[in-house]
Amino acid sequence: MDVYEYAVIRAIPQVERGEQINVGVLLYCQPRTYLCARVELDDARLRAIDPAADVDGVRRALGAYELACGQEAGPLKTESLGSRFRWLTAPRSTIVQTGPVHPGLTTDPEAELARLFDRLVRL
């Protein structure tokens, strides 16, 4: 079993109101050299809490999470996976942000990400 860390990615279209929906999961497992974000935006749920939400802007922000985890990694490509995870989970006052980081144990980080995603993001 290996230790992993994860955080839920949330969309908060009006930060001052604090209403949010879970839109993804970010999972990091140092022993397995694994960092991945899985995201899915439900437009109708987002618009239910803010009819004027910038859906395209939220999609672009979610794409940045996926990009930062990949081989290309954009501006973070020279950073270690651990540094990327810490950067992605740092507190921000933006429309898309992560919740607290939680630990767990797994033998398969990819399967764990799928399990967490189904449990925490999909309805």
Number of separate domains in the chain? 1
> Residue 32 is which amino acid?
R
Q: What's phi and psi for 96, nearest 5 deg?
A: -115, 125
Sign (positive or negative) of CA dihedral 89, 72, 29, 33: negative
Largest Cα separation within the chain, whole Å, is 45
Alpha carbons 103 and 3: distance in angstroms, whole number: 7
Domain that holds residue 74: 2-120
pTM reported for the whole predicted model:
0.93
- Residue 92 confidence (pLDDT): 80
Residue 9: how many CB atoms within 10 A of its CB?
26
pLDDT tens column, 24-69: 999 999 999 999 999 999 999 999 999 999 999 999 999 989 988 8
Cross-strand bridge partners of residue 97? 10
More confident residue, 42 or 93: 42
- Residue 73 confidence (pLDDT): 57
Strand-strand pairing, 96-98 and 21-29: unpaired
Mean pLDDT calculated for residue range 80-97:
90
* Locus of tokens 């009006």: 14
